[in-house]
């Protein structure tokens, strides 16, 4: 019932799979104690979270599972299946502040230049994917699943359907617009002639996959293969790293957090604030280079 509601609201298959896995794990725990998951009291949920810690799971994993339970019990309360929400007084496990892995602006430029020298239709597609990703910071699932209708008629904007089925508009840079136009000239050649998934012609990046569009795994592998050509280690390059790089570079060059939040599709600005570490480093560098007393030796 809970997962059906999420699916009806447009939740991605990966999200549904993650929630389903978390709830099955929790149900196994409660069933072993002769309780159905939906009837679990707060004390049992605390025991469950404690068991995750004792099993050596990271604080991040425990926090994610608690987030799933919060949404599950909030749903049960709203549907009047329960008269209370046992997760309201539970604190999330403490997590260390993880700084996203990034590429420098020069390294992203090297990656783009390496893609530019690729020949043929594959090169044009890769260039379009890279330019869109670095221009917009889309999640990889949003990027590969872009429909043709998501591209505005003038080619200046993308309409993106993000988490929870929420739509947002993001602008395309001039290099991204040019790369997309070059790719559109060969896009038809990627549409399978036989055995195609329904709706494949509606995809911006069509392929033979069961979804009808380029898969996340395939795009990730394309980046891994490209990295050495740009002088980068393959393990440093991924769609998520480029999303982080986009956000950090944009913020470092003067973008405000609210605009960045909108472009990234974050529901909570607290998620976007992780990128303020860029400003911290920028300010430290500025003070070290420009302050009149920065290079004056300290008198003893």
Whole-prediction pTM: 0.64
Q: How far apart are alpha carbons 232 and 229 in whole angstroms?
A: 7
Which of the following is catalytic: 25, 64, 74, 163?
163
Check if 266 is active-site: yes
Confidence band of 300 (pLDDT split at 50, 70, 90) = very low
Which of the following is catalytic: 125, 139, 177, 216?
139
The pLDDT, as a whole number, for residue 110 is 95
- Range 85-95 average pLDDT: 78
- Range 186-200 average pLDDT: 89
The pLDDT, as a whole number, for residue 172 is 92
Check if 134 is active-site: no
Which of the following is catalytic: 19, 48, 183, 275?
275
Q: How far apart are alpha carbons 5 and 154 in whole angstroms?
A: 36
If you compute the radius of gyration of the chain from its CA atoms, what whole number of angstroms results? 23
Check if 249 is active-site: no
Q: How far apart are alpha carbons 26 and 84 in whole angstroms?
A: 18
Check if 50 is active-site: no
Other Cβ atoms closer than 10 A to 10? 14
Check if 240 is active-site: yes
- Range 280-297 average pLDDT: 52
CATH number of 105-284: 1.10.443.10
Check if 183 is active-site: no
The pLDDT, as a whole number, for residue 261 is 83
Which of the following is catalytic: 65, 125, 177, 243?
243
Please report, for the chain, the start and end positions of each structural domain, with discontinuous segments joined by +.
2-78, 105-284
Query: Is the pLDDT assigned to residue 296 strictly greater than 50?
Result: no
Tens digit of each residue's pLDDT (9 = 90 or more) over 127-180:
999 999 999 989 999 999 999 999 998 989 998 888 777 888 899 999 999 999
Give me the DSSP letters along 164-177: GG-EEEEEPPHHHH
Query: Is the pLDDT assigned to residue 215 strictly greater than 90?
Result: yes
- Range 250-254 average pLDDT: 82
Look-up: residue for tokens 């911290």?
280
- Range 64-80 average pLDDT: 90
Which of the following is catalytic: 240, 258, 282, 291?
240
Q: Mean pLDDT score of the chain, rounded to an integer? A: 85
Query: Is the pLDDT assigned to residue 184 strictly greater than 80?
Result: yes
């Amino acid at each position: 019932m809970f997962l059906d509601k999420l699916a009806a609201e447009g939740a991605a298959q990966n999200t549904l799979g993650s929630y389903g896995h978390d709830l099955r794990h929790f149900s196994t725990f409660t069933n072993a104690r002769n309780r159905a998951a939906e009837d679990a009291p707060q004390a049992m949920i605390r025991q469950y979270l404690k068991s995750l810690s004792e099993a050596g799971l990271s604080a991040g994993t425990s926090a994610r599972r608690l987030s799933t339970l919060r949404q599950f019990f909030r749903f049960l309360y709203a549907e009047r299946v329960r008269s209370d929400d046992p997760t309201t007084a539970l604190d999330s496990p403490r997590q260390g502040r993880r700084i996203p892995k990034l590429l420098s602006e020069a390294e992203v430029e090297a990656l783009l230049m390496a893609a530019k020298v690729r020949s043929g239709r594959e090169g044009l597609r890769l260039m379009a994917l890279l330019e869109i990703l670095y221009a917009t910071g889309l999640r990889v699932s949003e990027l590969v699943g872009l429909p043709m209708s998501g591209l505005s008629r003038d080619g200046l904007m993308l309409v993106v359907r993000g988490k929870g089925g929420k739509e947002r508009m993001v602008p395309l840079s001039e290099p991204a617009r040019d790369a997309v136009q070059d790719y559109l000239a060969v896009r038809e050649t990627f549409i399978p002639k036989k055995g195609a998934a329904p709706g494949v012609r509606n995809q911006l990046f069509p392929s033979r996959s069961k979804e009808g569009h380029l898969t996340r795994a395939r795009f990730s592998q394309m980046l891994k293969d490209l990295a050495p050509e740009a002088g980068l280690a393959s393990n440093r390059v991924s769609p998520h790293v480029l999303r982080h790089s986009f956000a950090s570079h944009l913020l470092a060059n003067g973008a405000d957090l609210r605009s960045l939040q909108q472009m990234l599709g974050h529901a909570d600005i607290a998620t976007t604030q992780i990128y303020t570490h860029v400003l911290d480093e920028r300010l430290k560098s500025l003070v070290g280079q420009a302050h009149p007393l920065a290079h004056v030796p300290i008198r003893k």
